[in-house]
């Protein structure tokens, strides 16, 4: 199971990116355009709350709700952090062992 500690600054940034609409964020290992299924980059997708389907797991519930597909759990560590740096206006996903993305892509997938 993945747990993501979201800083208050990162939560504020996520709320800002979601805009006035309600949203849920999904951590994905995005392989689009990366060649094959094991080459990819972490990303956060903004989804409608109705996107919470059976088979998703919750990575974080405070202060921002982040879900993920349990089949992609292998690409991430159990304990991670999501931080926002105002100077670079970037969200950073990291763990004690590595930095997954210094400027993680946030893609709005709401219709």
Domains, in order of start, for the chain: 3-108 (2.60.300.12)
What pTM did the predictor assign?
Answer: 0.86
Q: Which pLDDT tens digit goes with each residue over 67-98? A: 998 988 999 999 999 999 999 999 999 999 99
Q: What is the pLDDT of residue 51?
A: 72
Nearest to 93 by CA among 5, 26, 101: 101
Mean pLDDT for all residues in the chain:
86
Query: What mean pLDDT do residues 52-58 have?
Result: 73
Beta carbons of 50 and 64 less than 8 angstroms apart: no
Beta carbons of 59 and 45 less than 8 angstroms apart: no
């Amino acid at each position: 199971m993945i747990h993501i500690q979201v800083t208050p600054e990162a939560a504020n940034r996520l709320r800002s990116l979601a805009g006035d609409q309600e949203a849920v964020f999904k951590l994905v290992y995005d392989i689009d355009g990366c060649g094959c299924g094991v080459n990819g980059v972490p990303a956060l997708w903004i989804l409608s709350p109705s996107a919470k389907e059976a088979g998703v797991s919750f990575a974080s519930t405070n202060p921002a709700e982040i879900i993920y597909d349990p089949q992609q759990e292998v690409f991430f560590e159990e304990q991670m952090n999501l931080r926002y740096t105002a100077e670079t206006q970037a969200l950073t996903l990291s763990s004690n062992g590595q930095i997954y993305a210094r400027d993680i892509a946030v893609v709005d997938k709401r219709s």
